[in-house]
Amino acid sequence: MTPLLLVVAHLALPVPHPVHRLRPATHDARLLAPVGTGLGAAVVLFFGNPGVALAALLVLGTAGWVVRDVRAGAARRRREAHAATFLGHLAGELQAGNGMAPAVAHAAAHLPADAPLSDLLRRVGALTRQGRSAAALLREGPPELRPLGTLWELSERHGLPLVPLVEQAQLRIDARLRHHATTSATLQGPQATAVILTLLPLAGIAMGTAMGARPLSLLFGGGLGGLLLVTGVALAAGGFLWSRHIIGRAAA
């Protein structure tokens, strides 16, 4: 029976709900275009040189993307850690013979009050106390808890025990977190190398300035210098973002 449950869990967990692929853009995403346009106009007016302004926008855009990516990754790992904690306690409560309503309530009580998943779990608890299934609500929730909704629905539909399926879901999240922690520590060297290579052109400019070549006058003077400035910044930013993409894929 256990191998059958594991096969069911393997088939059920990766399935994304199609609704989430059809969600409209968020309010923040809709604000990006006007904010970016206004910022670009402000930078052009401030520098007075289109080449310098474009290079500055490339730098600001790259920095903003990196900050947003780092924050999103940290938030995602925090949600995964909370989901693993919840699933572990939920499996223990169900294994002890508790019903779904008290099991959800007791498992959710182990999460911090400000946990990102707390609001959803409170609604799940309210539904279970009413004797209703919360599988559909979980499937519409954050990706960390969607597998639980799928497994819950499978358990109700086919009469499968939910405990082994919940344990399998928790093990998957724990394995993903361990993999990320291990690879992140291993990839500290490549990350530092990417930063050094990105900033290396600044060392060349500093050396040229020390030798009296006046590279800043060329780069900020417009014309060919402005073209070289924009091209160099674009290549450096693109290389840095691509290296982060490769490292992020390895650590995912």
**pLDDT confidence of 17, banded at 50, 70, 90?**
very low
Buried b (16+ CB within 10 A) or exposed e, 100-126: bbebbbbbbeebeeebbbeebbeebbe
Q: How far apart are CA 62 and CA 53, in angstroms?
A: 14
How many whole angstroms from its chain centre is CA 60?
20
Task: Please check whether residue 106 is in contact with residue 89, taking contact to mean a CB–CB distance below 8 angstroms.
Answer: yes
Mean of the per-residue pLDDT values for the chain? 81
**Token pair of 137, please?**
């609500």
Q: Tell me the per-residue pLDDT of 192-224, one tens digit each, with 9 for 90 and over.
A: 999 999 999 999 999 999 998 899 988 998 888
Helix axes 50-95, 100-108, angle to 10 degrees: 130
**pLDDT confidence of 19, banded at 50, 70, 90?**
very low
- Mapped onto helix, strand or coil, the DSSP state of residue 130 is coil
Q: How far apart are CA 194 and CA 187, in angstroms?
A: 11
Q: How far apart are CA 239 and CA 194, in angstroms?
A: 8
**pLDDT confidence of 231, banded at 50, 70, 90?**
very high
pLDDT at 95 over 70: yes
**Token pair of 178, please?**
């361990």
Q: What's the confidence (pLDDT) of residue 35?
A: 55
Q: What's the confidence (pLDDT) of residue 50?
A: 86
How many whole angstroms from its chain centre is CA 166?
23
**pLDDT confidence of 6, banded at 50, 70, 90?**
very low
pTM: 0.69
- Mapped onto helix, strand or coil, the DSSP state of residue 23 is coil
Q: What's the confidence (pLDDT) of residue 30?
A: 53
Q: How far apart are CA 245 and CA 52, in angstroms?
A: 27
Measured in degrees and rounded to the nearest 5, phi and psi for residue 24 equal -70, 165
Q: What's the confidence (pLDDT) of residue 44?
A: 58
**Which of 3, 6, 1 lies closest to 168 in space, CA to CA?**
6
Task: Please check whether residue 8 is in contact with residue 164, taking contact to mean a CB–CB distance below 8 angstroms.
Answer: no
Q: How far apart are CA 163 and CA 101, in angstroms?
A: 14
**Which of 241, 247, 242 lies closest to 185 in space, CA to CA?**
247
**Which of 180, 193, 190, 187 lies closest to 74 in space, CA to CA?**
180
By mean pLDDT, which of 38-47, 69-78, 100-109, 156-165 is the weakest?
38-47
**pLDDT confidence of 34, banded at 50, 70, 90?**
low
Q: What's the confidence (pLDDT) of residue 21?
A: 35
Q: How far apart are CA 76 and CA 88, in angstroms?
A: 18
**pLDDT confidence of 110, banded at 50, 70, 90?**
confident
Task: Please check whether residue 149 is in contact with residue 166, taking contact to mean a CB–CB distance below 8 angstroms.
Answer: no
Cα dihedral 154→157→162→164 (10° resolution)? -60
Q: What's the confidence (pLDDT) of residue 38?
A: 59
Q: Tell me the per-residue pLDDT of 148-187, one tens digit each, with 9 for 90 and over.
A: 888 888 888 888 888 998 999 999 999 999 998 888 888 8
Q: How far apart are CA 154 and CA 168, in angstroms?
A: 14
Which amino acid makes up residue 85? T
